[in-house]
Structure 1
Amino acid sequence: MQNPGFKKNQPYRLGVIIVNYQTPELVETCLSTLAPQLGAVNGCCVIVDNASGDGSLDRLTAWCEVSPAADRLMVVSAPQNGGFSAGNNIGLKHLNADLVLLLNSDAAVKPDALIALIRAADHNSQASIFTPLIVDGDGEPQVSRFRRHRLLSEFVDGAQTGPITKVFPKAETPIFPEDIDTEPDWVSFSAVMIRRQAIEDAGPMDEGFFLYYEDCDYCRRLTGKGHRICYVPDAVFQHDAGGSTKLRERQAKSARLPEYYYRSRSRYFRKTYGPLGPIAANLFWFAGRGVALARGIVGRPAPKLSANRYADMWIGWRGDNKS
């Protein structure tokens, strides 16, 4: 553990956690936008290096040591790369803060975004989860609010057919930026602020999710405890979607997705619907895919899939010890 001048025992209003795995340059860019705002909100930041083994720990420690906000920055070394949930759980153990901001390494904090989030928390005592407006590099809003993954949503996702989506509009998972009235079931954890009291109520994040689906699972647990989600459009964060994981790049190229993506998907549906959940989700998706293929015979071709998608969707469906 490295803590260059960090005031660990001091209570903070806001504690930020950034998990790093071999992306120190992204973390430095993120910190350059975050660190100047910490003082204004009595905030601090813990950077958890998930056993990168590429010199990230030393590099980020050196960066923090020379930062004007050095006394508010701390670098922690994880014993192994346990994934996103595990990294954030480690970070939580080193924070003494009322509000916790989980922040991706490929995100950037726009001016006054932290102030806007805390103002929202002060004015919305009924809410515990605060999601900002997330934009891309061109300033265009990204999809960051979602409806829950349900069995019917797997059918809609597999079909990717306009008339099907219109028949089942509430089964469409993404909530598009122009829709500001629909209350989300879950939000992207690329940037999200949660009350520490709510985290203690729900417990730590499920480390069985190495990466992906941990945000919808944790929001399900939080909202199941009665904690509400508040959208804060005045707080703006920029996110290079997939910059730290390259998932979007793989999807665009129809390349094979990593095994842990499918294990997380299976784990989510098993937790939500029981042992047969992953099987049911796959059957719904395959039914939707059948619609897409049938449509392709007479009209627009069915969308391309990631390589080996049909087989990979069954990864982890039995609930083995890796999922």
Structure 2
Amino acid sequence: MAPATVSRFLNGGIELPPATAERIRSAIAELGYRPNPYARSLSRGRTDMLALAIPDIQNAFFSQLASAVDRCAEEQNLSLLLCSTANKTARELDFIERLRRRFFDGLLLATNHADDGTLAEAINTADSNIVLVDEDVPGARVAKVFSDNEQGGFLAGSHILAAGHRAIAYIGGPPKLMSTVERRQGLSNAISASSDARLVCCLEHDYTREHGRAAMAEIIAHHRDVTAVFAGSDEITLGVLEVLREHGLRVACDLSLVTFDDVGLLHLLDPPVTAIRQPTAEIGRKAFERLAAAITGESVEIATERLPVRLVERASVAAPRRA
């Protein structure tokens, strides 16, 4: 029997008489044959592998995102290559080049830094099988799936104002990053609706614990009138909490706090921290669906999809302290 006929049978391309099919199966069992996935990929022009490139594998948000995408890939019998870029442009460009060379069929890319145009150009000239997740690369003409950051900032601001706070600080990520700008804008929109409230300061650098520590220390030193803080990520919030503890200050009693993400164990803290929750699993699922559709040749709209966030009220916001 011709090898091509056996190959087509094993791949489901043809049906053979029961006796012939049984002979093939018996031979496979006797020889212990296992298909070579690499040879199969070459013949089909596909690897059945997707890549997810994230800035920091230790960050709880990106870990949950990776878990959601991995579940989707498993359901579709696809392999997932998890790539950590350390938030470096050079490594992001390397994974885009690997996609161009067909190391995998598609790339989900989550960056966490501002782009000077280099990344956008590489994305636009590489392949349509790229979906941006969580953060934008301005000018990139691919499908994008984000949270509604501005809605989150507005919800946080409105909740803080409802508790009676009028002097508020924002600790955000990199100043030119989409999420930083939009979360700040949402907070500003809420504050501007109040005649006597003000945004005392915006301290923006990185979505890291170190930045949270430095920003909270600056607020304590130079902005003692601030009674509430909106932190742009859980990582920033952890740094804020460390500094408050070092200064003997209590969340809610001395300073109200709302964070963005809600991917950690905030409900176990004392007091539990109020948060704007991102739909992390849904972001991963939506991005995966768009990428899978593009790979199979379906028409995928090059547009931005924003998923709604929600306020998870706990106990970290209370009426402002007395002077």
Q: Note whether the superposition's TM-score is higher than 0.5.
A: no
Per the normalisation by structure 1, the TM-score is 0.25
Per the normalisation by structure 2, the TM-score is 0.25
With a CA cutoff of 8 Å and minimum separation of 6, indicate the structure with the bigger relative contact order.
Answer: 1
Instruction: Please say which structure displays the higher CA radius of gyration.
Output: 2
